[in-house]
Amino acid sequence: MADGKEKAIDVEKLLKNKLKSVSVGALEQGIGKVVSELVGEDYKCTINDVKYTLFSGADLHIKIELTYNPEE
């Protein structure tokens, strides 16, 4: 770092993957809501093939599609 102070890496924090505590359903709802707000139409999200990685990450397949509502 420029000021000479180095910040120690918290290995415990990296290895404790907090994403595992978030439900896939909550992620689907959140992503669907954000996309709907950005586009201005109602979208839904489906998440499959979740693989949690070391270092607090996840690989997953996301499908986003327009929701069909015949009443509109």
Contacting residues for 34 by C-beta, under 8 A, at least 6 apart: none
Q: Mean pLDDT across the chain, nearest whole number?
A: 87
The pTM assigned to this predicted structure is: 0.72
pLDDT tens column, 40-63:
999 999 999 999 988 788 999 999
For the chain, the structural domain boundaries read 11-66
CA–CA distance, 34 with 44 (Å, rounded to integer): 10
**What confidence category does residue 31 fall into, taking pLDDT thresholds of 50, 70 and 90?**
very high
